[in-house]
Amino acid sequence: MGENTKIEWSDHTFNPWIGCTKISPGCDHCYAEAMMDHRYHKVEWGGDRKRTSEAIWKQPLRWNRVARENNRRARVFCASLADWLDNQVPGQWRLDLAALIFQTPQLDWLLLTKRIENYVKLAPWYAAPPNVWLGVTAEDQDHYHRRWERLAQIRAAVRFISYEPALGPLRPSAAKVAYRHRFPDWIICGGESGHGARQMDPQWPRDLHEQCQRVGIAFFMKQMTGKAPIPRDLLVRQFPERVR
């Protein structure tokens, strides 16, 4: 739940709490449920959320110190086993998370959600702090439209899309309305893994990469379905520039 992570687009993973409720097709084969409920029996998925230990909460302070000493920013994926905008989580937990983020300015916190509609009501700030990257999961075109429309209106250093698991083609240029920020800064693309993984057509990431190149979106190819080898032409792993 912490330290160095196997997630290729971050340096560390931090989970302030564990547990969630499924809300969209991208949740159907949830790896966090399989791990924390079915395998380790830490929580009942869809039931109570469990806050992690104080030792885990102290880890980002150490990461921040190391990043400062090395003069290198580090990326932290927050809540890989939960959703930080989950309305079933006590509000004080989010306030504690915000305090930790403010205490660690050398860390770029990647906050990913499927519940961006809760931002105005639940986020512990109005504009995201300068070391927060805000992201939404968009497993297909429909969810991209609905979630990006909200995210595009929120000020953040980086706005990103996690197109994982990719369950249908996605075209960022097919936005239904003109947003204040027309395109996300970054799109992470990945096929589903694990038992019963649904197939991602390799043409989907190829077409998406081409579109990202055309409009200036950083593109990161994380994995193919079932973690099959990534074709050479899709071995693209770009990171966005922080805009403030």
pLDDT digits (tens, 9 = 90+) for 105-125: 999 999 999 999 999 999 999
Q: What is residue 181's predicted lDDT score, i.e. its pLDDT?
A: 65
pLDDT at 2 over 70: no
145 token code pair? 């439209």
Instruction: Tell me the per-residue pLDDT of 208-217, one tens digit each, with 9 for 90 and over.
Output: 999 999 999 9
> Using omega within 30 degrees of 0 as the cis cutoff, is the peptide bond preceding 16 cis?
no
By CB neighbour count within 10 A (0-12 exposed, 13-18 middle, 19+ buried), where does 149 fall?
middle
Three-state secondary-structure class, residue 225: helix
Q: What is residue 1's predicted lDDT score, i.e. its pLDDT?
A: 47
Determine the average pLDDT of the residues in 214-236: 96
> pLDDT class for 191, splitting at 50, 70, 90?
very high
CB–CB of 204/171 below 8 Å? no
The structural domains of the chain, with segments of one domain joined by +, span 1-126, 134-244
Contacts of 80 (CB under 8 A, 6+ apart): 5, 7, 13, 15, 32
Q: Which of residues 2 and 146 earns the better pLDDT score? A: 146
